[in-house]
A and B are shown apart, each in its own frame.
Chain A
Amino acid sequence: MTRNKSGLSTLVGAVFVILVLAVGLGAFIHALNQQDLYAQVATQRTQADWDRLNEELDATKVAIVSGKFNVTLMNEGKLPIKLDSLWVTNQTANNPKWHQKFDFTPAKEIGPSKTITNIGQDLSLNALDSKSYVLKFVTERGNAASIKSISVAEADLKLSLFLMPRTITTGENVTILLSVKNSQLDADSIHKINPIMDYSVCIPDCNSVAITPKSTPTQLDSLARDSTALFKWIYKVQAPANTIIRFNASIPNGKPGTFVTDDLTIFIIETAKFAEQSTTAAQAGSLAATGGTFTGNELHLLNSTAISGVSPAGQKMHHNEPERIGEANAAQIWLSSATTATNAKRWYTQPSAGVATIPAGNWKFWLCGVVNSQTQNLKLLVNITEVTGTGAFVRNILTNTQLDYQTQFHNTNVKCKENQNSGPNLSQQQIQNENRLRMDLWWDSSSTVSWFRLYYNATNIEGGKESKIEFKGSNVQNPFPSFYFNLDGKDFWISVVNAGPLHFFITADTRAIFRNVNTNATYGSILIEVNRTNTVAIHQDNNIRDVLLVQPNNAKELHFSTPATIPTRNTGTNNEGARPTPGTYDLNILLEGYDQNGGKLIKILYFGRVTIV
């Protein structure tokens, strides 16, 4: 009985203990639940932080288009981005600076690795080209991307100007490139770059200068940091010879000093040598221009150049011996005995660039020369033939046409006279692309003079005139700029002109190279002597001269050996290898020497194609 009662108390006590433990367990479970909830929140927060950290928004470009911002944004992260707002600060405004927020409603979404453009075009804000702005985009996650775009008024710009070419003849085009580099360190972009070109400064003056824009650049909406933009102008320039035109490129409203200038020099192409100079302008800057042209023993070059603007207008053809310019015995060809067409003096025009149309009319032949007796008649015969660029016959234009000069010429002074007969009257002529005109001039046996010297380009010629053919009424604008030389496979002479300001020497290493245009067979020629009158041998031995001085505005004739596979000074020996076979060759002259400043002169002068017969 007692044991039973004691057991009841124990049981009751145990129940209470269990109840107490149950209360404690409940508390423990509650604590665990709270912990779990907190852990979930912590996880969400960590995820939010992670997402925010991995959000990569980049403002890649900003411009002002039609008075509105035009921003390009790129999402470079892996999460989609929502744009909430844009803060715009006008950096140029002062006290106070202008600062405003614009909300995007709804938010603009940018997918991962996506780009959106034209941000800002629909804002109510008007952006001004003359102001600098900072734009800050804020995302839904709380990140921001800023971009700063400044006006040219605050920009550090590096300008460079390139004239191509820097020397032209009147009527030609000059291409001008302006390089603009954004070297601003504290700005992402410069907006609205609209350079202008001024050419109102000329030497001696701009009165006779006509510049026609052929192409002008458009403005640039924005230029990113460290980027470079190129602006291109093309102008057609007409100006008197020796005019210098200063092209001044500037950025309107730019910082003081944001301009760059370069000078364009105008000269007149009198002979093909200058055309060659323009394309072989000196390298290394030591020689402004050098060039050369051919002279031949029997065959002569005939070049043709448009002389639009010169009265009488027309196409002129003239012999080309520039080395004799200004000399008393300039560029003369002796017609001293009756000849036939087979051994006539022969000229070629340069190839036509495109189809050249010569209108119908009388062709006039102007010749400058001296006769042995001014009381004797001078009559010449002429053939004009259209040939291909390599000299192949195409068609006859004039055959055995007499030019009657009667007694117009003087026996001491050079006179330029037109033939007394009306000149051949021709229908419209079309010279096909790349074709040339060939003129054969020879003595007419009905002439009573015993000799006639034909002069070209000499300053002492009457009135500065020159021998030429006029295509009356011609408006041919395409000159025939090239060279053609009919080489007989023997030694030959070349004239080199120093049109630059520096003296230079030509050394014995100068060479001529012939390359067959069909087979690539190549032959070389060695410089063997200089000056056709008072010849001086060029040799590498100490006992003979090694170099030849060419003064500015002077020319020297160079005598080259017969082209051969083993070039030698001793032309005709058994050691010269093979000579070139008849055909068409490209001729290059490797001109070596040094100038008055010790600068090395190495020029490769391309003389075009020659025919070796």
Chain B
Amino acid sequence: MSKEGRKSKGFSTVLMSAIMLSSISAMGVTVLGFSDSVVSSQQGRISELYVERSNALQEIFIMEDVWFDGVTGSKQVHVTIKNVGQLPIKVTSITINVVKSSTNQLINPDQSATIDIAYEWTNSLHDIVVQTERENTLKQSWMP
């Protein structure tokens, strides 16, 4: 009796222990997997963020020249942008005063590009804003 009783009691204990160990392992694997997934995701986002910011920071460009051209009815503003940074830049828009013109001009390092904007300029000071794909902007005022 006592032997049978001891056998039954031992089995339960072992079973319980196995169940608990399994549970703990399952929970541990789940938590570990979740943590790894979350951390990996965050790492990727952090990397992406820093790369974006680094690239944006490395983007340097100037308005080398602005030339007001044309006659009334077909006036143009020629904006020459020079990439003096180390990464290619892509100019996405040029805003003259409040008039925004979209573009998609790629400029490699140490290169210049002239973007022609149709704009009826007047003989006064004009605010010109150049925006790149990395959302850098450069604002200057030019006079014809």
| A complexed with B | yes
A: which residues have CB within 8 A of B?
A: 1-2, 5-6, 8-9, 12-13, 15-17, 19-20, 23-24, 26-27, 30-31, 34-35, 37-38, 41-42, 44-45, 48, 52, 84-85, 87, 95-96, 99, 101, 136, 138, 140-142, 144
B101 within 8 A of partner (CB): no
Supply 23 A–B pairs (Cβ within 8 Å), ascending by A. A8-B21, A9-B21, A12-B21, A16-B31, A19-B28, A19-B32, A23-B36, A23-B39, A27-B40, A34-B47, A34-B50, A37-B54, A38-B54, A38-B57, A41-B57, A41-B58, A42-B57, A87-B65, A99-B69, A101-B80, A142-B60, A142-B62, A144-B64
Inter-chain CA distance A5–B15, complex, in Å, is 11
B84 within 8 A of partner (CB): yes
Q: How many residues of B contact A (CB 8 A)?
A: 41
Q: Which residues of B contact A6 (CB under 8 A)?
A: 17
Q: Which residues of A contact B25 (CB under 8 A)?
A: 12, 16
Residue of B nearest to A17 (CB): B28
B67 within 8 A of partner (CB): yes
B20 within 8 A of partner (CB): yes
Let me know if A41 and B54 touch, CB within 8 A. yes
Let me know if B24 and A13 touch, CB within 8 A. yes
Let me know if A27 and B65 touch, CB within 8 A. no
B135 within 8 A of partner (CB): no
Let me know if B28 and A15 touch, CB within 8 A. yes
Contact A27-B42, Cβ < 8 Å, known A13-B28, A34-B47:
yes
Q: Which residues of B contact A52 (CB under 8 A)?
A: 84
B: which residues have CB within 8 A of A?
A: 13-14, 17, 20-21, 24-25, 27-29, 31-32, 35-36, 39-40, 42-43, 46-47, 49-50, 53-54, 57-58, 60-62, 64-65, 67, 69-71, 80, 82, 84-85, 110, 112
Chain A nearest CB, measured from B144 CB (Å): 9
Inter-chain CA distance A34–B53, complex, in Å, is 11
Contact A44-B58, Cβ < 8 Å, known A9-B24, A140-B84:
yes
Q: Which residues of B contact A9 (CB under 8 A)?
A: 17, 20-21, 24
Let me know if A140 and B110 touch, CB within 8 A. yes
Residue of B nearest to A139 (CB): B84
Chain B nearest CB, measured from A369 CB (Å): 86
Inter-chain CA distance A361–B50, complex, in Å, is 110
Residue of A nearest to B34 (CB): A20
Inter-chain CA distance A50–B36, complex, in Å, is 42
Inter-chain CA distance A591–B34, complex, in Å, is 116
Let me know if A16 and B58 touch, CB within 8 A. no
Residue of B nearest to A14 (CB): B28
Beyond A30-B47, A85-B64, 11 additional contacts (C-beta under 8 Å) are: A12-B21, A16-B29, A24-B39, A27-B40, A27-B42, A31-B43, A44-B58, A48-B60, A96-B69, A138-B82, A142-B60
Chain A nearest CB, measured from B127 CB (Å): 19
Q: Which residues of A contact B47 (CB under 8 A)?
A: 30, 34
Inter-chain CA distance A106–B80, complex, in Å, is 20
Partner of B46, one of A30, A99, A144: A30
Inter-chain CA distance A144–B36, complex, in Å, is 53
Chain A nearest CB, measured from B55 CB (Å): 8
Residue of B nearest to A144 (CB): B64
Inter-chain CA distance A167–B31, complex, in Å, is 113
Let me know if A30 and B43 touch, CB within 8 A. yes
Residue of A nearest to B30 (CB): A16
Residue of A nearest to B49 (CB): A34
Let me know if A142 and B54 touch, CB within 8 A. no
Residue of B nearest to A24 (CB): B39
Inter-chain CA distance A20–B34, complex, in Å, is 9
Q: Which residues of A contact B43 (CB under 8 A)?
A: 26-27, 30-31
Partner of B50, one of A26, A35, A95: A35
Inter-chain CA distance A5–B25, complex, in Å, is 14
Chain A nearest CB, measured from B48 CB (Å): 9
Let me know if A20 and B54 touch, CB within 8 A. no
Q: Which residues of A contact B50 (CB under 8 A)?
A: 34-35, 37-38
Let me know if A20 and B82 touch, CB within 8 A. no
Let me know if B35 and A95 touch, CB within 8 A. no
Inter-chain CA distance A561–B17, complex, in Å, is 149
Residue of A nearest to B23 (CB): A9
Let me know if B31 and A20 touch, CB within 8 A. yes
Chain A nearest CB, measured from B113 CB (Å): 12
Chain A nearest CB, measured from B84 CB (Å): 4
Q: Which residues of A contact B14 (CB under 8 A)?
A: 5
Let me know if B39 and A27 touch, CB within 8 A. yes
Chain A nearest CB, measured from B25 CB (Å): 6
Residue of B nearest to A43 (CB): B57
